[in-house]
Amino acid sequence: MRRLIFLLLLFLVPSPFLRAEASVPLHRIAVMGAFSEEIAAIEKELLPVGTPLASQTINGTRFDEADVNGKHYVFFLSGISMVNAAMTTQLALDRFHPDAVVFSGIAGGVDPSLLPGDVVVPAEWLHQMESAWINPDPAKPGAYVAEETRGTPSGHYGMMFFRDVRVVRDGEPQPTSRHAFPADPALLAVARTVAAQGAPLEGGKNRPAKVVVGGRAMSGPVFLDNRDFREFAFKQWQVEGHDMESTAVAQVCWVNQTPVLIVRGLSDLAGGQAGSNEIKKYVLLAAKNAAIVTARVLRAIP
């Protein structure tokens, strides 16, 4: 009898190790933005006018809950920066136990073919500043102390030698190195379908905005507004965009084996522009376009 009960439980109780792979259907979804304009944009796109919100504040972060079309949403701000994003993501996972996490916000463009207003939905996220900063080798002009560059397989920019992230989670007793943290494959498939259907996005410069699903992007505790580093990052890692939160969110979700999808509207060219940064000019457009795509993805999830 006990053997029969055990076998029944195997079929009836979902394994947490399968959760990140089989991400649909989903009922409880956490929806994040880094700052108020981003979360306001996604709430406006997703929630019918007059939708009641149940609000509470935990450790200073406000969480708004709403039920729409059979799904339960929890909206909150990550705060700007990697540490804030990691902290609030884990808080939401611990308190609300969402089936998935979706982030909607803005980013700086790194791929030179992209323009403000375009939307990227990357398949993986890199840590841009996980690195060792190393002295020059006094015996070899132009080189760096070789012994200290071990474990830095991701190239270097001057003295900054980039490293993969060592991280551990249940089922993996030893820390392992990860070059990037993935978006959920099933949610990416939904995003591809939405992108193929087209969306009413306003372009920032001389052409309609487009949606790019797949590829990679990067995050770090830096506001990137430097042409040289932008060109290096695109050549070295082929990244589409840069922000200050997404990789932290993706890492926390990977550790917790929770599906994640991150949608970013490009507000500037991360230093590739002529003159001053254009984020103030395009921030609301980028947030709106990201919200439009995110809302369509959320509605399309079973």
Whole-number pLDDT of residue 276 = 85
Please give the backbone phi and psi of residue 236, each rounded to the nearest 5 degrees, phi first: -75, -40
pLDDT band for position 47 (50/70/90)?
very high
Query: Which token pair is 239?
Result: 């990244």
State the residue range of the domain holding 268: 23-128+181-300
Looking at residue 228, its amino acid is D
**254-295 pLDDT, tens digit each:** 999 999 999 999 998 888 887 888 888 899 999 999 999 999
Whole-number pLDDT of residue 24 = 53
Query: In angstroms, how far is CA 251 from the centroid of its own chain?
Result: 9
**174-218 pLDDT, tens digit each:** 998 999 999 999 999 999 999 999 988 988 888 899 999 999 999
Q: Would you say residue 91 lies in a domain?
A: yes
Prior bond to 25 cis, omega within 30?
yes
Q: Would you say residue 228 lies in a domain?
A: yes
Query: How many structural domains does the chain have?
Result: 1
Q: Would you say residue 4 lies in a domain?
A: no
**5-36 pLDDT, tens digit each:** 433 443 343 433 334 334 457 899 999 999 99
Question: What is the Cα–Cα distance from 247 to 127, expressed in whole angstroms?
Answer: 6
| Residue 93 reports pLDDT greater than 80 | yes
Q: Would you say residue 12 lies in a domain?
A: no
Q: Residue 122: which CATH number?
A: 3.40.50.1580
Question: What is the Cα–Cα distance from 287 to 88, expressed in whole angstroms?
Answer: 20
Query: Which token pair is 238?
Result: 């082929």
Q: Would you say residue 99 lies in a domain?
A: yes
Q: Would you say residue 3 lies in a domain?
A: no
| Mean pLDDT (the chain, rounded) | 89
